[in-house]
Structure 1
Amino acid sequence: MISLPVQDSLFNYRVAGVAILNGKVLMHKTPSDHFWSLPGGRAELFEFSKDTLLREMQEETGMQVQVGKMLWISENFFRYNGIRHHEIGFYFEMEIPGLKDQTDFSGSEGQEELLFSWIDVRSLDSVPIYPHFLAAELARNPLETGHFTMDFTNLDGL
């Protein structure tokens, strides 16, 4: 996985999917986190970003997805669990063929449990989600492409 420690910091290359259906977006989090994010994960070395999303969704949920166009690129600096992170994120449209319903479910990343929930895009401004730009962008109809930069390294963290 492309996650490189550099001195007292960590560099991540992350890919995430945007699945919106019936006005709800699929989000995930660990049980201990107090925020939601879009599902996805870190790219592997020599793996194309769309392939990363296909692999991560299969590993974490068992779902076969279809990856669409790239929506956003983010350069995000933040603290998580006391560690400064420099994250480059690619965000793609994503469809889940054969989805039977939009009930909450659990998945896993290795030994760690992940909680998945379909959250109404109209309520995202009252739900803690990261990166911060997502709340406003996910509420747009239609979604617009963009490049976002955020620096939250001076804050206490997520």
Structure 2
Amino acid sequence: MISLRIDGALFNYRVAGVAVLNGKVLLHKTPSDNYWTLPGGRCELFEFSKDTLQREMQEETGLNAEAGEMLWVSENFFLYNGDKYHEIGFYFEMQILNLPDQNDFLGSEGEDELLFHWHDVTDLHAIRVYPEFLMDALAKNPLEKGHHSSSFRDLDAG
């Protein structure tokens, strides 16, 4: 996984999928996190970003996903569990090929449980979503492509 510790901080290369269906977007979180984010994960060395998304969805949910067009590139600096992160994120349109329904479901990342929920895109300001640009970007129809950046944010703070 491309996550490098440099001078007491972490560089992270993350790929995430944007699945919007019937006005709802698929988000996930761990039970201990106080925010939601788009599903995805870290890219492996010499792995194409679209392949990362498909692999992560299969590993975490057992669902087959197909990555579409890239929507956003995001640069984020944040604190999480006491570590400073510099994260580059690629966000792709995503189709889930074997989606049985839009009910909540559980997944896993290694030993950690993941909660998946379809949130109404018009209600995202009522919950905590990270990166924060997603609250506005996901509410646009059609979704607009772009580049987003944010400076330090403490994800552990409520």
**1:157, distance to aligned residue in structure 2 (A):** 3.5
CA distance in structure 2 between the aligned counterparts of 1:58 and 1:100, rounded to whole angstroms: 15
* Alignment match, 2:148: 148
Would you say 1:28 and 2:24 are equivalent positions? no
* Alignment match, 2:55: 55
CA contact (8 A) 2:63 2:98 kept: no
CA distance in structure 2 between the aligned counterparts of 1:94 and 1:71, rounded to whole angstroms: 10
* Alignment match, 1:96: 96
* Alignment match, 2:72: 72
CA contact (8 A) 2:70 2:90 kept: yes
* Alignment match, 2:119: 119
CA contact (8 A) 2:76 2:150 kept: yes
Give me the identity figure in percent: 66
CA distance in structure 2 between the aligned counterparts of 1:43 and 1:156, rounded to whole angstroms: 23
* Alignment match, 2:110: 110
* Alignment match, 1:130: 130
CA distance in structure 2 between the aligned counterparts of 1:156 and 1:39, rounded to whole angstroms: 20
- Count, aligned residues: 156
**1:100, distance to aligned residue in structure 2 (A):** 1.9
CA contact (8 A) 1:82 1:157 kept: no
Give TM-score scaled by structure 1 length.
0.96
Structure 1: which 4+ aligned runs deviate by more than 6 Å?
A: none
CA RMSD of aligned residues (A): 0.9
**1:82, distance to aligned residue in structure 2 (A):** 1.2
**1:8, distance to aligned residue in structure 2 (A):** 1.2
Q: What secondary structure, in the 3-state scheme, does the structure 2 residue paired with 1:141 have?
A: coil
CA contact (8 A) 2:37 2:129 kept: yes
CA distance in structure 2 between the aligned counterparts of 1:9 and 1:66, rounded to whole angstroms: 32
